[in-house]
Chain A
């Protein structure tokens, strides 16, 4: 495992932190912060009882990261109450997705996790109502260009991202977990039907354990950008470890559920790379059951080459000569999975030549 980056080795085996020397600590902290895993590292050290024995400067650095994360959690919980208040008249269960769900459910995957948007899932036929209520409570759509509006409303699986006018906080309202134009479209009704109420938090729901894992896998392995690849893989690792231990029947149900949702391929990738990169203990029977999602040999060899690069920490110390090529191919793949070829070429043409002003203002 010496070929793995330092951060990856520590995520696989947190007690290894105790044996690091000063120069390694500097590199580890830098990789962790660049991968958005600084607070996660701090909490891992704490969880394994290592924090007090670390060099004082390292403890101080980890404390900085932790403080940011604590404030983030507080802000997320506040924001959730605002969203819940805004949507109280709909009678809809508020189904939370991704990071928001991990925080609200108090899952281990929330420890150290930072994210920008609150993500919720609502039925497609209620989108207008939900959007109207959010607007009435201060959220505004951030993409005003007619093309962007059409892009989101007709083709994507979510409304154009909305931002609160005073707090600046963002919310993504999803009606599905993959775009309307994607080749695979898991039935959102199945996901909503399986959602579970959070005990002690009336009105808040999260996806059922298998669905949560499958959504996380789908998100990671159909993305075009992997700036947070390792962090998202670590989410999956922690979800798998947690549900594997706490949720009866989880390991046997996972592959079956993936077939129902047409998500066998992302599940295959998730298990493969979690095991390879992070050493996730997945039962042999589950691995065998997920074989249905295995791509052909040539494709798998290519995906291994691309993903094993993309799932390294996003830090200059981990970049190889082929990293830019690999990132570029994953970007194309991410868009390829989003829409049919003709539509994609029209979309990319438009983004490249006709609405460059928009792209720039997005980046500011």
Chain B
């Protein structure tokens, strides 16, 4: 299968400028166009292993990143995101091109993909069993996700957990893991072999860098996983690793709060969340050190063997 890396930089840039790069991420195909030259090299670094499709395969999402025309670009360069002629976001400074691309790709899925209950949560898998990590920003969800992935858990997603409406299994949509502020250095120290994008300062989420997913996660993007745990993480300096069971009803409500389309799906959203909570053990998890956290997740896994 043709990949971004195999395409090579000149062809990659030509597609981005011209008919669009048809990039497959899990179940989705995005047609990506860009008049900003820097996007090509960024995609080559972060998406090298991802499949590229022919121009006649219909895409689900139409993503255009462009620089405005006119003099303003010389004074205060910006980048605009267009989705099929709409502008869902305000433009951002040009330096934030790559984070904006990632946010745009998340937005495409979270606001359209209603064949799944889409939960704002990281999800990783080992031995066929998935652990879902829903959490508000700042709780250390992505850090924990990146740390687990660096220790051999398969990345399904760090932002979007796709729970099928028909059988409750989780479809992977692996993409680079977003790291913020202090967690960038934490992961650098934790996994020196991991490939991180250049940090971008002063975004609306602070300083942001992305970790490239391991090749194995990308190659296995068609393999669904069965949910086994929902863990609501909360990082606190100096805290010891502790799992506290969350009652089912409360876990259901918290899943609903973290889902993008729970209300839109109506009864299907309710039954999918209920089945998910039925099929999983649900915990609040506080931790202060990644080593302790790894041990806890390995123990959870051993208990299910």
Contacts and interface: CB of A to CB of B under 8 A. Distances in A.
A64 B265 contact: no
A6 to B, nearest CB: 13
A150 to B, nearest CB: 32
Contacts of B268: 67
Given A64-B113, A71-B263, A22 B86 contact: no
Most buried by A among B29, B84, B115: B84
A316 interface: yes
Given A22-B56, A26-B58, A61-B60, A67 B264 contact: yes
16 contacts: A23-B55, A23-B56, A23-B58, A26-B58, A29-B58, A30-B84, A57-B29, A57-B60, A58-B58, A63-B114, A67-B265, A71-B263, A71-B264, A315-B84, A315-B85, A316-B85
Interface string B15-36: 0000000000000010100000
B115 A30 contact: no
A29 B60 CA distance: 9
A232 B112 CA distance: 23
B98 to A, nearest CB: 24
Nearest to B59: A26
B58 A22 contact: yes
B238 interface: no
Most buried by A among B55, B112, B263: B112
A25 interface: yes
B56 A64 contact: no
Interface string B104-116: 0000000011110
Contacts of A170: none
Interface in A33-70: 33-34, 55, 57-58, 60-61, 63-64, 67-68, 70
A74 B266 contact: yes
Interface in B111-134: 112-115
B257 interface: no
A29 B86 CA distance: 15
Contacts of B265: 67, 71
A311 interface: no
Most buried by B among A58, A67, A316: A67
Interface of A: 22-23, 25-26, 29-30, 33-34, 55, 57-58, 60-61, 63-64, 67-68, 70-71, 74, 314-316
Nearest to B57: A22
B242 interface: no
Contacts, number: 47
A55 B84 CA distance: 21
Contacts of B60: 57, 61
B58 A25 contact: yes
A67 B265 CA distance: 7
Contacts of B55: 23
Interface of B: 29, 31, 55-60, 62, 84-86, 112-115, 263-266, 268
B86 A34 contact: yes
A68 B266 contact: no
Contacts of B85: 34, 314-316
A77 B43 CA distance: 46
Given A60-B115, A63-B114, A315-B85, A68 B264 contact: yes
A63 B55 CA distance: 24
A70 B57 contact: no
B58 A64 contact: no
A71 B260 CA distance: 14
A68 B84 contact: no
B166 to A, nearest CB: 12
A57 B58 contact: yes
A38 to B, nearest CB: 10
A67 B114 contact: yes
Contacts of B62: 30
A64 B263 CA distance: 14
Contacts of B29: 57
A25 B59 CA distance: 10
Given A23-B56, A58-B58, 19 more contacts: A22-B57, A26-B31, A26-B59, A29-B58, A34-B85, A34-B86, A57-B29, A57-B60, A60-B115, A64-B112, A64-B113, A64-B115, A67-B114, A67-B268, A70-B266, A71-B263, A74-B266, A315-B85, A316-B84
Contacts of B115: 60, 63-64
A70 B267 CA distance: 11
A74 B56 CA distance: 37
A16 to B, nearest CB: 17
Nearest to B263: A71
Contacts of A23: 55-56, 58
Contacts of A71: 263-266
Contacts of A22: 56-58
Contacts of A30: 62, 84
B114 A68 contact: yes
A23 B54 CA distance: 11
Contacts of A33: 84
Nearest to A58: B58
A63 B114 CA distance: 8
A28 to B, nearest CB: 9
B213 to A, nearest CB: 24
B89 to A, nearest CB: 13
Which 10 residue pairs of A and B lie closest in terms of their CB atoms, listed nearest first? A26-B58, A67-B114, A64-B114, A316-B85, A71-B264, A22-B58, A30-B84, A34-B84, A25-B58, A23-B56
